[in-house]
Each structure stands twice: as structure tokens, then as C-alpha cells.
Structure 1
């Protein structure tokens, strides 16, 4: 039931953009500005807010933990996530190697690799972990890896070219800069000014901007699909295939990677103790519906925005049924270890 409510709320954010575009109060070009705000302001603040702003009791729990233990868990999340992304990238290249429409192949590959790990992933991990703050943090560590890949591999999928990808562009990207700042503030709490009682009011700055990430991304989707017919949206078989890859293949690959890392760590050091959620967070995150940023990315880099929107919508509808099944299966498999 909670899954249905989350997906309905997600879908509801589409409606204002759809209506405003239909009554001509928004132009098709308005998505350009919204995409820039989403990618260069909202996403960086989502990272800052997730790793630097906490409730007092959660912050106290985090500070009571060993920094070495947290670093090890962060390393596990990043390693599992990175290997999973690389494997899925290779699988997508193999699946679509002979697909004649390279632009469409790129969109389908983007859908396969990148999930809505923020808006949907966080509520799910909270539900399954009984609101364990560490579980949520691990999802956001996954999100850092997600951002690195989306601004490199994701841009390549959208554009079909490497010309918009460079080391300089990646390290100067606001989301990457925000990730570095967030990690520093997290591991050096003495300088995490967001948690200073004397100036606690400044918390609202990253909080408000972070909370606009999902509404803005869905507004963009609503504006785009307002110019399409139901036939345009629901009659593309490959969109459903891409949705199946996203919702079935991606979490399955990530589960296998997590199990492999778990086995290796236990073989090397049987007494090692890691949080289960360090392994589960990437799996749950990868089991979510497609990232709404596919439309924003397509808008920003002049990709096929219509195909991005239709594939996103169809895959998201499928996910209402599949997400809880996959997430529950992953938790059950892990619980047997």
C-alpha cells in the first residue's frame, strides 16, 4: 500500500506541469530553465542535505560510531555500486549493439542504469530498515556514485558522444563539488556548520532546495508529455523492455555484486562486521523506478526528450507492481545469509 501511495504522489507532481503546458501558460522551452535549476542547484543540495543535516538524535547516533567503521561501510557501498554500474553499462552495450536507432538505444540504456534512488529509494529503505538513519545515509552514498556515472556515462548515453565529457567538467560539476563538501562535513563534524546549535536556522537552505528536486523533475516530465498523445506514450514496446531491464536486471546484477563482495570480505576476514545496509542500500536503490532526471538530461544535452518522457512514464507505471516484489525478495535473500 505504501508503494502505491509513494508512486501516486510521484505521479501527482506531473499534473501541474501538464496542465500549465496544456493551457499555454508554460512554453516547451521552459523545460530548459527548469532542467538547469534541477541539475545544477537542486541535485547538489540533495547531497548536502542528506549527509550534513540531521535530527539531533540521529546525529548523536552517527557521532557515536567509529569513523573507521563508517569509512569501511562507505567504501563497500561505493565499491558495490561502481561495479554494478560498470557491469550494467557493459550489458547495455551488448544488448543494444545492433540496435539501429542509436539515440533510442542511449535513452533505453540510461533508463536501465539510473534509478529514482532519492525520492523513492529513501522511503523504501526507511520502511525496510525501521527508519535506521545509517540505511538512509548509505542510499545517499550510492547517490554520489550515481551522480558521477550520470554525468559521465549518462551524458554519453544521451548525446552518443564523448565531447561533453571531460575530467575538468566532471570535477567542476556542482553535484560532484557538493558531494566532496558533504563528505568532508560528515567526517569532520567539528566544521559541519549545519549542525551548530547557534546557527541552526541555516539548515533550511539545503532542506528547502533538496525537497524541490522531485517536484521540479516531475514538472519537466509533465510539460513534455503534455505535447504527446496517449498513443505516443503507451505504444512503444521497447519502452517496456527498457523498464524490465531497469526493474529486474539492474537489481539482480547489483544483488550478485553485493553477494560477491560479502563473500570476499568474509573469506578474507571472517570476524569483519559490516552493516547489512551497506550491502542492501545499493540493491534497494537499483530496484527503484527510472530516474526522472532522464528527461532533464535529455533537455540539457539536446537529446530525445519525447522518448525520454514516454519511457520514463511507462517504466514508472510498471514499477508500482514490481518494486515491492523485488525489494522484498532482495531482503529475504539477504536475510538467509
Structure 2
């Protein structure tokens, strides 16, 4: 009888959490629809989308991270952040290994497929979910995954696309908006001196733009792609299955054996379960690989994540 009760309780917990996450993801999906409509209605063009992307990347996302660090120093939180960094590395090493195993050099567009599998939309897509489900603590812990991904995309990512170690930009590893924001944030976190209230309130207003702008931009990216061609490509389905289901479940099973706080696990799982990163398209375009394929994957995984994210995160909730 107890086993039946426990099973029913887990089922109710799973359903409740799936509904909660699903509601938030659906709201984000509706914001994506706004982006799709405004692009198709010619209220934004490609240059406008690029400008929004740059504004989010260089201003809004870094400010969101800095705001999450504006808090009194807490040794427990500091310890959780320190643990989050090596775990974020581990969460990237798993898809890196899978990518090299599945997409060898004889596979068409193997460079782009490896990139699409490894890098998640941990900024535009993950930060709004982190803020909604875990509050500023979620953004605080999620920043570890962003920094690790940023370092890897400027090292492993560039080498993957070019095959040339000389293309690795050590300067951009440290002098990029994400890493700089975390450095500034950590200084604020450990220092007794905080930002003046008017400055902090201004940054909070900017931070509040992150969710709507990021989701609208995702909708614009979907609108820029030919949806029919996206779903006619069978390799895109395979990639979406790997990216949105197989890798997250593999990471979930791995984290189950590591005794860390639930907030850390949830923050990492949100980042890992997000669709492929839009930055993959930008890098592929810059290095003249098949960026059209990358755009298809980003579009497909962004749309399908509306279904997979609630499932994976609800599974995360009942796994411990």
C-alpha cells in the first residue's frame, strides 16, 4: 500500500511540476509568436534582429547576471557557485564526447552537428526560466554554465569549426560580456560595498527586458528560417532528439550520483535542456561552414523545446 501511495505522490508531483514549467514555457512560446509575427509583418528586418541580438548579448544578459550577484555575501551560496563551475564543465564534456563519437569526420556537416549538440541557448532561453523557477539564485548559479560555455565556444568551438588551433582567441575568452559580467558580479558579491540604489534599480529595469526580448528574438530566428525545409530534413529530427532528450537524460542520470543542492541540479538541467544556441549559427556563418543547417537545428529545437522542457524539468524534480 505504501509503495502505491508513494508512486501516486511522485506522479502528482511530476504532473504538478510539468504543468508549472509548461505554463512558463508556453508564455515564452507566445512571446516567440510575437517575434514571428512582427518579423513576418515587416516591423523588424534582418538588421533589426541583429541589433536586438547584439543589445541582448552585450547589455541585457550581462546586466541580468550582475543584478543576480547584487546580494549580501553568503558562504553557502558561494560554495554552491564554486561547485557549479566544475559540474558545468562536466555537463559540456558529455555532449562533446557524444558528438565526437556520433559525428566523425566522414559524416556530412559533422563540425556543425557537433557544435549544435554541445552548445545550448543558456542565455536567451535559460535565464528567463531560471529567473521564473528559482529567482535570482537561479540566475546566480546558472551564470556558471554561461561562463563555461563562453570559454568553450571560443576554444573548442573555434577549433571544431576551423581545425586550426591558431584560430583560438584567448582574448575573447576573458574579454567577452558573459565572463566580464560574472567577474563584476563576483566582486560585488564578496564586497561589502554594493551598487548605489538608483544604479541598481536602473539595472533591474534593464534586466527585466531579458525575457521578452530574448523570446521575441527567438521567434524572429524561427521566422527567418524556412519552416518547411526545417522539418523535411530528417537529420534535424535526429539532432533534436539527441539535444532535447538524450543528452539531458544522460546528464540527469549523471547528476543523480553527485550529492549537491537541488538548486544546482535544477539550474544545470535547465541550461542543458534548452535548445541549440543561436551563437552556433553566428560562428558557423563566420567560419563559412553550413550555417543554414545550424539555423534549421536552432529553429527546430526551439519549437520542440516547448514540449520537451516541461517533461525533462518535471523528471528532474522527482528524480531526488
TM-score, normalisation: structure 2: 0.77
Structure 2 Cα separation of the partners of residues 157 and 206 of structure 1: 36
Q: Distance in 2 between matches of 1:175 and 1:319?
A: 24
Whole-angstrom CA distance in 2 between matches of 1:40 and 1:155: 20
Whole-angstrom distance in 1 between the partners of 2:288 and 2:214:
16
- Residues 8/302 of structure 1: CA separation in 2 closer, same or farther (3 Å cut): farther
Distance 1:71 1:18, change over 3 A: closer
Name the structure 2 match of 1:252.
249
Work out whether residues 108 and 239 of structure 1, in 8 Å CA contact, stay in contact via their aligned partners in 2.
no
Structure 2: 5+ residue runs without aligned partners?
A: 1-18
Which one of the candidate residues 74, 82, 89 is aligned to 1:82?
89
Verify: 1:240 aligned to 2:237, yes or no: yes
Residue 140 of structure 1, CA deviation: 2.9
CA distance in 2: counterparts of 1:42 and 1:99, whole angstroms: 40
- Partner SS state of residue 282, structure 1: helix
What are the Cα deviations for residues 44-72 of structure 1, in whole angstroms up to 9, with x where unaligned?
223212222xxxxxx4xx54x4x2x4333
Structure 2 CA distance for partners of 1:3 and 1:227, relative to 1, 3 Å: same
Mean CA deviation greater in 154-163 or 110-119: 154-163
> 1:110, 1:154 within 8 Å by CA — same for their partners in 2?
yes
Q: Does 1:308 align with 2:294?
A: yes
Contact 2:66 2:181 in 1 (8 A): yes
Within the candidate set 165, 168, 186, 2:171 is matched to 168
Alpha-carbon distance, 1:135 to partner: 4.5
Residue 113 of structure 1 aligns with which residue? 118
Cα distance change on mapping 1:96 and 1:132 into 2, 3 Å = same
Task: Output the CA distance in 1 between the equivalents of 2:54 and 2:132.
Answer: 32
Please name the residue that 1:5 is paired with.
23
TM-superposed CA distance for 1:97, in Å, is 0.8
Q: CA deviation at 1:139?
A: 2.4
Give the paired residue count.
302
Alpha-carbon distance in structure 2 between the residues aligned to 1:243 and 1:279? 22
Deviations 1:278-331 (A, max 9, x none): 344323431233334444555666664543332122223322232222222223
- Find 1:210's aligned residue among 207, 210, 231: 207
Cα distance in 1 for partners of 2:163, 2:27 equals 33
1: distance between equivalents of 2:83 and 2:66? 21
1:77 deviates by: 1.0
Find the residue that maps to 1:191 and give its secondary structure: coil
Please give the secondary structure, in 2, of the residue aligned with 1:326.
Answer: helix
Residue 182 (structure 1) aligns with: 185
Q: Which runs of 5+ in 1 are unaligned?
A: 53-58, 194-198, 263-273
On the 8 A contact 1:84/1:253 being kept in 2, the answer is no
State whether structure 2 residue 90 is matched by structure 1 residue 72.
no
Partner of 2:56 in structure 1? Answer: 38
| Deviation of 1:223 (Å) | 4.2
Distance 1:206 1:330, change over 3 A: same
What is the Cα deviation at residue 182 of structure 1? 1.0
Q: How many angstroms does 1:243 deviate by?
A: 1.4
Alignment check: 8 A CA contact 2:158 2:168 kept = yes
Residue 327 (structure 1) aligns with: 313
TM-score by length of 1: 0.74
Give the Å deviation of 1:132.
6.6
1:268 matched residue in structure 2: none
| Distance in 2 (alpha carbons) for counterparts of 1:23 and 1:284 | 32
